[in-house]
């Protein structure tokens, strides 16, 4: 059975920053893919907006090159490519000026979904939101989509929220965290709330701890200057890891409805306990012979910015009291892996001989590579010679399990189509973003006040020694980064 593609409603999507990296590398190739599978209605239009001096023909020529590079398989189909390019237009607007806005407003069709995607610097969100409204390009039903970073602290996040609300209501605002567009992340909700099997075990009585890891093998090459102002805590923990933690820890919502789901996520963030200095490790990778290390790549020999964070987080509520969540993320680690590992407690009474290196039951939810779920079970080791136990994995790699049904779609594709359908479930709400900053700010402020250097770790390793100790001292250990 091939997956059912449900066409989206007809739309006009205005893409601000259409000539930029994200638009050319992710957003437009993603839309092309949706077009190819028949999800983008034939009449739907994409209107690119930027300052670059060109007309629609020039923009299509630029886009054709990007599609050849970032959607090569479908771009080979010339007829398909030409039909897609015909749905793309370009309008030259400097959003800081007054010109072009009236043309934009005139160009949009009534009675179709109208979405404005802001793939531009957050410093332009306010001016775009208010001009869309004052030039009557937006309506009460239009949607506005924004990208991370959503602020660099609570104050700036509040200011951005206020900027967006100049022209749009919360129900019209879609804040993208592409982690939420990943199939496995959504599957976490299906797994928890569509099965009777797991939810009775999903609490501190049965779960010893949870490990959330987002490990990257690349460093900050090429992005050093931007990253150096941010660091792992702002770039990864406050948003992506926090979202994964929320979906793992939240209470079952009363219904699968955007606000019901997001209400539960906010409650988790509000229940997070303060993280003490002994429960957190910051690291910074070093290269060899003063080459390839963070300092060289960031271009600042004195930088104190962390490229790695590991921490123990407590959730102060009835379900999770006594079950720590360990978060870990870093660059230039020994492998690239994103996963949530839910580690269960041992049986209360063991009737079998002690098993060496027993790790116990765990559910591993893999986001990348090879999205899927693994269940680690203990069984009898086959064969004669006494009753010995062994650990085996029940493995479900989605690409294998759902081979015939799979319509592989990138996280961006899924999220853009959710915008068109008007489904905010997988987008962060303003209060959620602010709550996450309110939790992260004191941690970052304490680091800044301490003036301490992050702990160095070797590029290609598993991170700083102290990060290993964070678990070792409590009789636990991190899963290997493959």
Q: Is 357 annotated as a binding residue?
A: no
CA 426 from centroid of its chain's CA atoms: 10
Judged by CB under 6 A, the stretch of 19-27, 428-436, 452-460, 468-476 that binds ligand NAP is 19-27
349 is an active site residue: no
Residues 183-222 that bind ligand NAP (CB under 6 A): none
Has 182 been labeled as part of a binding site? yes
Asked if 20 touches ligand NAP (CB under 6 A), the answer is yes
* Binding segment (CB under 6 A) for ligand NAP, from list 144-152, 251-259, 371-379, 380-388: 144-152
**Does the protein bind ligand NAP through residue 22 (CB under 6 A)?**
yes
Instruction: Map the footprint of ligand NAP across residues 83-122, applying CB under 6 A.
Output: 93-96, 119-122
Closer to ligand NAP at the Cβ: 17 or 30? Answer: 17
C-alpha dihedral sign at 40, 43, 44, 49 = positive
CB 88 within 8 A of CB 59: yes
Q: Among all chains, which residue has been given the structure tokens 């959620």? A: 432
Q: Phi and psi (nearest 5°) for 360?
A: 90, 180
Q: Considering the rule CB under 6 A, would residue 50 count as an interface residue with ligand NAP?
A: yes
Least separation in angstroms between residue 218's CB and ligand NAP is: 13
Pick the closer one to ligand NAP by CB: 19 or 39: 19
CB of residue 48 to ligand NAP, shortest distance in Å: 8
What b/e sequence results for 10-22 when a residue is b if at least 16 CB atoms lie within 10 Å of its CB, and e otherwise?
Answer: bbbbbbbbbbbeb
Size of the site for ligand NAP (CB under 6 A): 21
Residue 331 annotated as part of some ligand binding site? yes
The 10 Å Cβ neighbour count of residue 396 is 15
Tell me how far CA of residue 25 lies from CA of 29, 32, 71, 413, in angstroms: 7, 11, 9, 12
Q: Report the residue from 45, 148, 312, 331 that binds ligand NAP according to the rule CB under 6 A.
A: 148
Given 8, 13, 14, 17, the residue binding ligand NAP (CB under 6 A): 17
Residue number with CB closer to ligand NAP (163 or 208) = 163
Q: At what angle do helices 28-36 and 411-421 cross, to 10 degrees?
A: 80
**What is the side-by-side strand order in the sheet with 308-313?**
389-397, 372-380, 362-368, 337-344, 207-215, 325-330, 308-313, 280-286, 455-458
Instruction: Give the nearer residue to ligand NAP in terms of CB position, either 222 or 442.
Output: 222
We find the least distance from the C-beta atom of residue 53 to ligand NAP, in angstroms, to be 8
Reference 103, options 112, 95, 113, 93; nearest CA is 93
Q: Does 323 bind ligand NAP (CB under 6 A)?
A: no
Helix H or strand E encompassing 160: helix 154-164
Question: Which residue among the candidates 33, 152, 209, 240 is catalytic per the annotation?
Answer: 240
Q: Give the whole-angstrom CA distance, residue 180 versus residue 166.
A: 26
- Residue whose Cβ sits closest to ligand NAP: 20
Least distance between ligand NAP and beta carbon 54 (Å) = 9
- Which positions ≥6 away from 79 have C-beta within 8 Å? none
> Which uninterrupted H or E stretch holds 202?
none
Residue 117 or 447: the one with the smaller Cβ distance to ligand NAP is 117
Assess 235 for contact with ligand NAP (CB under 6 A): no
The distance in angstroms from the start CA to the end CA of the chain is 34
**Active-site positions?**
240
Which residues line the annotated binding site for substrate? 178, 182, 216, 235, 331
Which residues line the annotated binding site for NADP(+)? 51, 94-95, 148
Binding site for ligand NAP (CB under 6 A): 17-23, 50-52, 93-96, 119-122, 147-149
């Amino acid at each position: 059975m091939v997956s059912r593609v449900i066409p989206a409603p007809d739309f006009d999507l205005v893409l601000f920053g259409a000539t930029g990296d994200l638009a050319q590398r992710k957003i437009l190739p993603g839309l092309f893919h949706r077009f190819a599978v028949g999800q983008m209605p034939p009449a739907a239009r994409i209107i690119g907006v930027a300052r670059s001096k060109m007309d629609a023909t020039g923009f299509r020529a630029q886009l054709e090159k990007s599609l050849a590079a970032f959607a090569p398989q479908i771009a080979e189909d010339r007829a398909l490519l030409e039909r897609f390019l015909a749905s793309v237009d370009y309008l030259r607007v400097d959003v800081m000026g007054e010109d072009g806005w009236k043309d934009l407003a005139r160009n949009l069709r009534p009675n179709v979904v109208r979405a404005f995607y802001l793939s531009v610097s957050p410093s332009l969100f306010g001016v775009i939101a208010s001009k869309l409204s004052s030039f009557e390009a937006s309506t009460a039903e239009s949607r506005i989509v924004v990208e991370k970073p959503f602020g660099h602290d609570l104050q700036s996040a509040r200011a951005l929220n206020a900027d967006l609300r100049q022209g749009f209501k919360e129900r019209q605002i879609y804040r993208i965290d592409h982690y939420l567009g990943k199939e496995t992340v959504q599957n976490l909700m299906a797994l928890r709330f569509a099965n009777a099997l797991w939810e009775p075990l999903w609490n501190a009585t049965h779960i010893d701890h949870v490990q959330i890891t987002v490990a990257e093998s690349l460093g900050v090459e090429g992005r050093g200057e931007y990253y150096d102002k941010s660091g792992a805590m702002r770039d990864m923990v406050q948003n992506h890891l926090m979202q994964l933690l929320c979906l793992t820890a939240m209470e079952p919502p009363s219904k699968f409805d955007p606000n019901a789901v997001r209400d539960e996520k906010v409650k988790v963030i509000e229940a997070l306990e303060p993280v003490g200095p002994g429960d957190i490790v910051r690291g910074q990778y070093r290269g060899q012979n003063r080459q390839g290390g963070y300092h060289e790549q960031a271009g600042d020999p004195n930088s104190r910015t962390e490229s790695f964070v590991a921490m123990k987080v407590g959730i102060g509520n009835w379900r999770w009291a006594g079950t720590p969540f360990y978060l870990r993320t870093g660059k230039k680690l020994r492998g690239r892996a994103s996963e949530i590992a839910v580690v269960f407690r041992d049986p209360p009474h063991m009737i079998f001989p002690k098993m060496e290196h027993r790790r116990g039951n765990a559910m591993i939810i893999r986001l990348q590579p090879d999205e899927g779920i693994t269940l680690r079970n203990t069984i009898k080791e086959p064969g004669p010679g006494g009753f010995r136990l062994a650990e085996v994995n029940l493995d479900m790699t989605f690409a294998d399990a759902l081979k015939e049904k799979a319509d592989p779609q990138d996280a961006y594709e899924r999220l853009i189509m959710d915008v068109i359908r008007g489904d905010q479930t997988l987008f962060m709400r303003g209060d959620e973003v602010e709550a996450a900053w309110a939790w992260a700010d004191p941690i970052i402020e304490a680091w800044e006040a301490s003036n301490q250097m992050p702990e160095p770790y070797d590029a290609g390793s598993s991170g700083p020694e102290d990060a290993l100790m964070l678990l070792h001292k409590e009789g636990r250990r991190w899963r290997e980064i493959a």
